[in-house]
Amino acid sequence: MRKTDGMTDTALVLGSGGVTGGAWETGILHGLAKSGVDLSAADLIIGSSAGAMVGAQLASGLLGLPELYELQLADPQDITGGKLGMLTLLRYAGAVLSARTPEAYGRKLGRIAQDARLGVTAEQRRAAIEGRLLSPEWPGRPLIVTAVDATTGELHTFDKDSGVSLADAVTASSAVPAVWPVARIDGRSWIDGGVHSTANAQLAAGYGRVVVIAPSASGNKAIASPGSQAAALAANGARVEVITPDAAAKKAFGRNPLDPSCRAAAARAGLAQSAAHTEAVAAVLSS
- The set of catalytic residues is 49, 192
One-letter amino acid at 46 equals I
Averaged pLDDT score across all residues of the chain: 93
Residue 2 in this model has a pLDDT that exceeds 80: no
Which has the closest alpha carbon to 194: 257, 243, 146, 266?
146
Q: What is the pTM of this model?
A: 0.94
pLDDT > 80? residue 261: yes
4-27 burial, b for 16+ CB within 10 Å, e for fewer?
A: eeeeebbbbbbbbbbbbbbbbbbb
pLDDT at 3 over 70: no
Determine the pLDDT at residue 287.
Answer: 64
What integer pLDDT is reported at residue 75 of this predicted model?
A: 85
Nearest to 148 by CA among 16, 9, 282, 285: 16
pLDDT at 126: 96
Task: Using alpha carbons, select from 190, 247, 191 the residue that is nearest to residue 217.
Answer: 247
The CATH architecture one would assign to domain 10-81+117-286 is 3-Layer(aba) Sandwich (3.40)
Residue 47 in contact with residue 54, Cβ under 8 Å?
yes
CA-wise closest residue to 146 among 164, 128, 119, 123 = 164
CB atoms within 10 A of CB 165: 17
CA distance 59 to 78: 22
Q: Where are the domains of the chain?
A: 10-81+117-286
